[in-house]
Amino acid sequence: MRSLNRKVFTKIVLIFCIFFDLLCIVLNSRIDYSSFVSDQLNMSVVLEQVGSYLVIESIFFLIVFIPRLRALNKSLLWSVVALIPFVNIYYCVYLCIKKSDDDEIEASSLPTRKGMKRIPYLLTLLPFMFVILIFHALSKAMIDNSLPTLGQDIIVILWCYFCLSKRLIDAGEDPYKAWLILVPFYNIYFLLKWCFVRSASA
C-alpha cells in the first residue's frame, strides 16, 4: 500500500469505526456491573478495557497514516502522531479533509453526487438525535448500566457524518468537512449551521 487517496482513506476509517463499535459492545459486556458497590468501579477491568481501545486505535492509525502521508507528500515522521491518544483522532480528521493532487484529479472526473436539502436534513438528523438522547438517559438510569454507551456514541458519529456529508454536497461544500463533527463543542454549531444554509442550486 504505497499511498491512499482521500476517498479510500475515509472508507477505511469508516469501516474501522463500525468494527470498533462492535468490539466496544463485546468488551463492555465482559464487565460485571452488578459487582460494583457504592459507585466503586472495578478499576482493573475498566483500565484493561480502555487500554485495549487505545492500543487497537493506535495500531490502526499507524497503519493507515503512513500511506495517506505519502499521498500528501508529507514526512512519514508525522505518523508518530498515531501513537498519541486522542491527538491521533484529530490528526485523522485533518488527513480526511486535506486534499492531495490525486484527490483533485479524481474529484474533477466524478459525476455530481446527490445531496440532502435542509428539510430532509432536519427530519433525518434531529429525530435520530432525540432518540439517542433518550437512549443515553435510560442507559444512565439503569442500575446495571449494561447499555454500551461508547458503541452508541460511535453510531451517533457515523449517522451524523452521513447526514452532514450529504448536506454539504447540496450546499456546494466539500463533503469531507463532515469529519469536523469530531471536534468537541464546535461540532454542535457545525451540525446546526447547515440547517439554515441554502442549497448551492438555490
- Say what the pLDDT of residue 69 is: 92
Per DSSP, the residues of 4-44 read: --HHHHHHHHHHHHHHHHHHHHHHHHTS-GGG-BTTB--HH
Is residue 109 scored above 50 in pLDDT? no
Q: What is the pLDDT of residues 23-37, one digit of tens each?
A: 776 766 665 555 555
Is residue 202 scored above 50 in pLDDT? yes
- Say what the pLDDT of residue 94 is: 92
Of the pLDDT bands very low, low, confident and very high (cuts 50, 70, 90), residue 80 is very high
Segments making up each domain of the chain, as ranges: 1-110, 111-202
Q: Quote the CA–CA distance of 196 and 202 in Å, as a whole number.
A: 13
Of the pLDDT bands very low, low, confident and very high (cuts 50, 70, 90), residue 63 is very high
The more confident residue out of 22 and 76 is 76
Q: Quote the CA–CA distance of 197 and 184 in Å, as a whole number.
A: 21
Residues 11, 176 contacting (CB under 8 angstroms): no
Q: What is the pLDDT of residues 125-148, one digit of tens each?
A: 877 777 767 766 666 655 444 445
